[in-house]
Amino acid sequence: MMANEESRKSTGTNALRGDHASSPKTGPREIPAAALLSFLKELRGVQTWTEKDLTKILRIGLTQAKEAIAVLQLQGYIHPAGNTGKWRVTEQGEIVSEAKPPRFTRQSIENALAGIHDRIKAANENPATAYRITEAVAFGDFLRDAARVQAADVGIRLVPKSDSGSITSAPEHAAELDFLRELRGKTALLHVVPYEDWMGFRSHQRLL
């Protein structure tokens, strides 16, 4: 079965280094721009939010959150809500994060995620498939307590079963995208993309 899991993420616009999730060997974790944009997208329809919301969703420290907010404000993607200490996502922030008006019920999203969970399991058990799925997570505003939500984002890591190799050439990449489309099925409730490490650090729901 699927399990909810909150994890840490890297976020930045190109990359921010922070005080949370660091180690003596690797140093501070960087925050990719894509992770920051996933945060903006998740807050579509939320009137205002705070630094604590950013730390909770991306699983980062407060210092790192303050740095991220400074970058987002500089880019014009957020602006302060008066002198309240809260923030709003701007229209430009919604555009760049590809946020859409929430129109699905949370139950419909959960049903769609249950379906792709089953397809992932079946694909891994089928020896004829070209790929093995090693990571699969879902994230988005369906994780929040909202009546209407956007399509869930789903990150899936594929590993080719053949010795020929990695998903680096154009034909291999195209084949990977075709495989992900098959896993998604004919639904507008899921946005399925290749897995990136930051997806497993931010708040998410595991599908594998």
Among residues 50, 67, 96, which one ends one of the domains? Answer: 96
pTM recorded for the entire structure: 0.84
Q: Which residues pair with 16 in a beta bridge?
A: 31
Report the DSSP beta bridge partners of residue 80.
87
Domain CATH for 44: 1.10.10.10
CATH number at residue 134: 3.30.460
- pLDDT category of residue 165 using cuts at 50, 70 and 90: low
What value does the mean pLDDT take over residues 44-70? 95
Total number of domains constituting the chain: 2
Q: Can you list the pairs that 178-184 forms with residues at least 24 positions away whose Cβ atoms lie under 8 Å?
A: 179/129, 179/130, 179/131, 180/156, 183/116, 183/119, 183/120, 183/123, 183/156, 184/116, 184/154
Per-residue confidence (pLDDT) for residue 30, from 0 to 100: 84
Is residue 128 domain-shared with residue 81, that is, in the same domain?
Answer: no
Beta strand pairing call for 152-160 and 190-194: parallel
Residue-wise pLDDT for 178-202, tens only, equals 999 999 999 999 999 999 999 999 9
If phi > 0 it is left, if psi is from -120 to 50 it is alpha, else beta; for residue 140 that is left
Are both 118 and 142 inside the same structural domain? yes
Looking at the fold, whether 110 and 199 belong to one and the same domain comes out as yes
The per-residue pLDDT for range 126-161, each reduced to its tens digit, is 999 999 999 999 999 999 988 899 999 999 999 998
Same domain, 180 and 120: yes
Cα–Cα dist 28/36, whole Å? 17
Structure confidence by residue, pLDDT tens digits, 89-138: 999 999 999 999 999 999 999 999 999 999 999 999 999 999 999 999 99
Domain that holds residue 22: 3-96
Structural tokens at position 140: 């988005």
